[in-house]
Amino acid sequence: MNKVFLSYSRKDKDFVKDLYNRLTKDGIKCFYDEKSIEGGKNWVEELEKGIEESEIIVFVLSPDFCESPWPQVERTTFMSKYPERKILPLLRKSCKIPTFLNAINFIDVTTNNSFNNNYSEIRKILSGNGGNGNETNPYSKRGRLEPDSNMFFGRKSEINTIKQLLDQLQCISLIGERKIGRSSLAYKVYHELKFSGNIIAIYLDCDSIIEDCSTSSDFYKMVNREFKGSKNSKQIHCHGDYFECYTEFRTFIKKLSDEGYRFVILIDEFEKLPEKEFANKSFFSNLRHIATSYNLVFVTVSKQYIKELTYYSIQSSDFWNIFTPFYLGMLDKKDINELRSYGFNNAKLELTNGDLKMINYYAGKFPFFNQLVCWYLFEAKVNKTAIDKNKMEEDLKNHYDVIWNMRTKEEKEVLTKITQHVPNNIIIDKSLLNNMINKGILSKEPYRLFSNYFNNLIKKEYVPDRIGVGPNQHTEFMKY
């Protein structure tokens, strides 16, 4: 039987995914639709089953939650059929608390700090005990960080450079590896910009919102809603304006550009936008025209430089050629040391030289991998047990697999040569090397991978696994 049913709005799914991961790691079984409903199953029937089998329902409160029909259905089903069961409201975003919850105390999770501070109470309520330790593990976050997160380290020079480019009305293609922190950086820049005097900034996450867009009109309506919700909506008197097509959008931007306002549209997971049928050559040509004619700039966030995306709609419209590439690499030594030590110092736990060597072996200066290794190490120290290296390596490898699979055949060949200690002068393609150096996969000469663990995975597992031969046999990747 599931202990907990998570009821939430899709717009809060990043937070709920993080909550689910933390509760699951603490041994609390949850029904979370994205993880608990298998493909091909009847969605409605599975939701009803999940509610039936849960002892507690968690409502993640926000304005979107209160307006969304599905949480209302879940609430009604749970309360009418199982009135004796517990309810735990978590306030994610300020909103009018629903009347049916007036008699129940909610827990504040409106910021990353409040969530971390109150997580032990959440865990205690949902588990019926203290969980697996008295210390809240600060390394639990695996998704996008909130702008005020204590776990956001460094990136000051990157933020300043991005702001300088935006001041020059230069569109930016923010590029980086999966889990390198692209979304966290873009979201932080957005939150700093949205409080700037004459700047109107909006943030679009294509991973969660683009599914609601079937036409270009849907896209422009969505942009309109975001502008109406911006800090400057009242000051610029745009709350009465409405646009749902390109022509009306252009008129809106022109009018306010003439009044001295500047617009920044950040588009995360940009690759998913040109996959939509409406995002054709004309669509991107129109966006390009607005960006080159008025005070509007785009910041796209993707795994590849926008010029390298092979979508015909982008290439043929020349949308790509208004962007400056901005590569996001590893953290520097000072910032990675602060990331590693922060949680342990706050919990008064000792981080030994041996611990640091282990973290460096598995993670290098890659922020996400450092957080992952630190999570396992923190749990071990709190519970006074040995670190579960088998489980940690399995977890790590799942993410390293993705990094390897994202490489082109040519990149795999170069990386394999490096792990086999082939002389540098045999590696000819400097553009491939520079690309991976910019992303932090490799260091400059002498070329090395960012972590020894990744180096050993390539040498011992990836090459043989990918071509189905034994590790001692030479292959097309291993012919120099």
pLDDT in tens, 110-150: 888 788 888 888 888 887 643 334 456 888 777 788 788 88
Give whole-number Cα distances, 286 to 203, 244, 293, 374, 467, in Å.
19, 14, 11, 46, 45
Give the number of other Cβ atoms within 10 Å of residue 110's Cβ: 16
Among 87-91, 123-127, 139-143, 297-301, the range of highest mean pLDDT: 297-301
Res 167: pLDDT: 94
Domains of the chain, start order: 4-127 (3.40.50.10140), 156-328 (3.40.50.300), 333-401 (no CATH), 407-467 (no CATH)
Range list of β-strands (E), 177-239? 199-205
Instruction: Give the list of residues 6+ apart from residue 385 with CB closer than 8 angstroms, or none.
Output: none
Residue type, position 191, single letter: H
Give whole-number Cα distances, 339 to 74, 165, 342, 352, 393, in Å.
39, 28, 6, 15, 20
Helix (H, G, I), strand (E, B) or coil at 286: helix
Res 471: pLDDT: 39
Q: Is 160 exposed, middle or buried (0-12, 13-18, 19+ CB in 10 A)?
A: exposed
Tens-place pLDDT, residues 311-364: 999 999 999 999 999 999 999 999 999 999 999 998 899 999 999 999 999 999
Instruction: Give the list of residues 6+ apart from residue 419 with CB closer than 8 angstroms, or none.
Output: 449, 455, 456, 458, 459
Res 344: pLDDT: 94
Res 162: pLDDT: 97
What does pTM read for this prediction? Answer: 0.72
Peptide bond into 446 cis (omega under 30): yes
Residue type, position 108, single letter: D
Tens-place pLDDT, residues 195-226: 788 899 999 988 766 667 889 999 999 898 88
The b/e string for 336-358 (b: 16+ C-beta within 10 A; e otherwise) is bbebbebbbeebebebeeebeeb
Tens-place pLDDT, residues 222-255: 898 888 877 665 555 554 577 889 999 999 999 9
Helix (H, G, I), strand (E, B) or coil at 19: helix
Count the alpha carbons within 13 Å of 107 in the hemisphere toward its beta carbon: 23
Joined together, the tokens standing for residue 144 give 């996008």
Pick 374 or 112 by higher pLDDT. Answer: 374
Distance CA 135, CA 383 (A): 9
Res 442: pLDDT: 92
What kind and span of H or E run contains 267? strand 262-268
Pick 305 or 194 by higher pLDDT. Answer: 305
How would residue 476 be classed by pLDDT, with cut points 50, 70 and 90?
Answer: very low
Instruction: Give the list of residues 6+ apart from residue 64 with CB closer than 8 angstroms, or none.
Output: 9, 10, 11, 12, 93
Averaged pLDDT, 458-477: 55
Distance CA 88, CA 121 (A): 11
What kind and span of H or E run contains 45? helix 43-52
Res 217: pLDDT: 93
Distance CA 9, CA 215 (A): 23
Averaged pLDDT, 276-280: 93
Q: Is the pLDDT of residue 310 over 80?
A: yes
Task: For 453, list phi and psi in degrees, rounded to 5.
Answer: -65, -45
151 close to 339: Cβ distance less than 8 angstroms = yes
